[in-house]
Structures are given as C-alpha cells and as structure tokens.
Amino acid sequence: MNNDLCRMVGCDFPLFAFSHCRDVVVAVSKAGGFGVFGAAAYTPEQFEEELAWIDAHIDGAPYGVDVLVPETVDARVTGFSSNAERAAAISAEHKAFTAGLLAQYGVQIPEDQQTRIREGAGITPENGQKLMEVAFRHPIRLIANALGIAPPEMIAEGKKRGIPVAALVGAKEHALRQAAAGVDIIVAQGGEAGGHCGEVSTLVLVPEVVRALKAGGHNIPVLAAGGIMTGGQMAAMMAAGAQGAWCGSVWLCTPEAETSPAFRQKMIEARSRDTVRSKARTGKPARQLKTAWHEAWDDPEGPGTLPMPLMGMVSEPSFAHIEKAVVNGNEQARDLVSYFVGQGVGLVEAERSCRQVVQDFREEFAEAVMGLTATLGD
C-alpha cells in the first residue's frame, strides 16, 4: 500500500496486530500485516526466549514490540524494590476478599499462591526498562510504549538504530506531549479499546489527534485503535486521517491466540455492552469482559482495588486458577472467566485464523473504499 506507515515498518497492509501471543504476531506479519508482541506479561528472560522464537519462525517478515514503561508510579508502591516486598504489602483483608470471592464459584486457591511474586515480572518502570533492552537486541521494526511519555532512552535508542517509536495515547493533549518528546508514530486509542484505555471514543479521538498534530506542526502518522474489528471500520478511520489501524481484541478469538476455549466462546456470545472499564485487574483503568469479579472489586462496600502492580499480583493468580477450574469441569467458574477485550467484542461471530482475519480486513477495506468512491460519481 502507498502509505507512510507501511514504508516506515516494511509491511504490505497497515493492520497492526497487538498480541501477547507470539503465534499471532508471526501469523499476522507473514500474512502481510504487522504483528506487535506485548511484553508486559514476561520477565526479561522469558521475553528473550519469545523474541528468539519469533525471529526463528517469522521468515524475515517485519514485527514490533510493545513495552510498558509507566511514567508515574502510585505513591503507595514507590518504596518497594522487589516483588517480594510488594507481595508483603498486600493486606490480609484483600487476600481474604479474593479467596472468598473465588470460593463462591467453587474455585480454591492455596494461600501460598494468592499473590504472584515471580521477580522480574509485573508492570513497573524498572521491569519495562529491562524489557526494552532485550527488545533492542532483536531485529524489530517498531517499539511502542503506553502508560505515559515514552522514556528518553527508548526514543534515543530508536533513533540511533532507525527503529520507529510509537506511543499510545487517549487524548489529544497526550499526543502533543508525545510528539514534543520525539516519538515517530501516535496510536490514538479510544475508550472502546480492550486493556488500558482512556474515555474519549475512537471516532472522536482520531480526527482530534490528527488535527492537533497538524496544527502543532508535527508530521507524525497516526494509527487508529479502539473497537476496530473490520476492514470497513479501518477504512473509516483512515478517511478520518489515520494511516492504519492498531487492533488487539480481534485476534483474541483466533486459534493462534493465548486465550482459552472458554473465553473465546464467551467472546462469541458477548454483546458490546458486556465489557467494563475497571481497575480490578491491573490497578489502572482497563477494559475487559465484565464478570462478578469486577462487580465485587468495584463495589464501594468492598476493600477497594490495589494500585499497579499490586492488583495484578492478586488478579493474575486468581484468573489462572479460574481457568484451571473450568478445564477441570467447574461450570460455576466459567462465569468468572475474563480477559482484556474491547467493546468490538459484539462484532465477533466465530473463531477465525489470523490469516483469515487479515484477508477479511483487506477485502472489507477495499469494498468500503470502492463503495465510497462510487458515491462520488463521474
């Protein structure tokens, strides 16, 4: 495609696939899109293994990585230097609340497994910096950051190596700050998106960011993100000024994804209203499939959610045990199965392979563009 973003990263079609699963990244890049591997769930050692696997299987196709380096840290956790210290700070009340909630659905979690204490894991500035160092040792064509301004080290190293740096934003003011910091690509992510997101809708945010950047004299391409599940939506966002689409949720209902069969079935059954923007998984507002877990943690009568990364240290072991219980035949536990997913989940009708999703996007995009062109007449 005759497109600045395609030329910057070397892909054929500007469909960027964010995923925590290496198989999705490889499949999308080999199909002509651009896979972006999310690093947040990994230790540096695990991340190195995953990227080495991608390098060995992607057949030279371009790919990128997404590394979370939080710009700000909650004052309640600034004094901790290890996950063992962070785990010790989680109150007995929060642990008892978690165990009690799971027990209502027949899910048992041993006391010594209630918090994740694996060192090197979790969303912290120091872990993000280490993951960034690993990423730059591989032939990536893009590195992205969220949860604040891209760190100076990322921008400097990207420019040194000729690797574009992307930043996810949820407001035009954030886009202007990122542009001033020196990033190369802005991902304008609306509130419909799965995972960490803002409150402004994609339909409003994208043209707002495009106009603000232009008015500020910044010639920076914009990717549209949030609720985009079809090629027609992608075409609409490009008509609004974006140069491509950044998608995450659409890949979660593919056989290549890291998601469980139980969650993929819930995606197919879900409506767009079945997601919630909640702090109940990571400690920061993130959109996910709504369950009783979120209702309980967001209830004003409860103990309240913990700050990042403590909330993730509680939630991730819990969701792992929920999934295990479902596999072992606990139908009650199925009600608690959840994952990060956007409001576009209402457009999911069936499982499709990553290659088929890319092909469908191409065809729908072309159909939308030709349809709009036809309305212009001669």
Number of domain units in the chain: 2
Mean pLDDT, range 128-146, rounded to an integer: 95
Q: Tell me, what's the pLDDT at 180? A: 96
Distance (Å, whole) CA 265 – CA 243: 32
Alpha helices in 217-309 (DSSP H): 231-239, 261-269, 292-298
Asked if the structure places residue 54 within a domain, the reply is: yes
Q: What is the CATH number of the domain that holds 49?
A: 3.20.20.70
d(CA 317, CA 135): 26
Q: What is the pLDDT of residues 220-275, one digit of tens each?
A: 999 999 999 999 999 999 999 999 999 999 999 999 999 999 999 999 999 999 99
Q: Tell whether 181 and 305 lie within a shared domain.
A: no
Residue 372: inside a domain: no
Identify whether residues 63 and 128 lie together within a single domain: yes
**CA pair distance 378, 169, nearest whole angstrom:** 40
Element (H, E) at 213: helix 202-215
One domain, residues 134 and 10: yes
Q: Which of 252, 268, 284 is the last residue of a domain?
A: 252
- The pLDDT of residue 117: 67
- Weakest-pLDDT range from 58-62, 122-126, 146-150, 190-194: 122-126
34-44 tens-digit pLDDT = 999 999 889 99
Q: How many CB atoms are located within 10 Å of the residue 203 CB?
A: 17
- Do 202 and 247 share a domain, yes or no? yes
Domain termination residue (choose one: 252, 276, 299):
252
Is 182 part of any domain? yes
Kindly state whether residues 51 and 161 are assigned to the same domain. Answer: yes
More confident residue, 289 or 2: 289
CA 373 to chain centre: 33
Residue 360 lies in a domain: no
Is the residue at 355 inside a domain?
Answer: no
Quote the domain boundaries for residue 282.
83-118+259-347
The residue among 371, 352, 361 whose CA lies nearest residue 1 is: 361
Distance CA 114, CA 117 (A): 9
Q: Which pTM was predicted?
A: 0.93
Confidence at residue 328, expressed as pLDDT on a 0 to 100 scale: 95
- Reported as a pLDDT band with limits 50, 70 and 90, residue 378 is low
Q: Identify the band that residue 91 occupies on the pLDDT scale cut at 50, 70 and 90.
A: very high
Last residue of a domain, one of 190, 222, 252: 252
Give just the sign of the alpha carbon dihedral 295, 78, 189, 11: negative
Q: Check pLDDT > 80 for residue 96.
A: yes
Task: For 180-325, list the strands marked E by DSSP.
Answer: 185-189, 195-196, 222-225, 244-247, 275-278, 286-289
- Output the pLDDT for position 206: 98
Residues 114 and 126 in one domain: no
Residues 343 and 281 in one domain: yes
157 in the same domain as 48? yes
**Cβ atoms within 10 Å, residue 294:** 21
Verify that 223 and 123 share a domain, yes or no: yes
What one-letter code names the amino acid at 61? A
93 with 149, same domain: the answer is: no
Verify that 145 and 19 share a domain, yes or no. Answer: yes
Residue 357, token pair as written in the block: 């999703």
Task: Provide the pLDDT confidence category of residue 120 given band limits of 50, 70 and 90.
Answer: low
Separation in Å, CA 12 to CA 2, 65, 244, 339: 9, 18, 11, 30
One domain, residues 26 and 160: yes
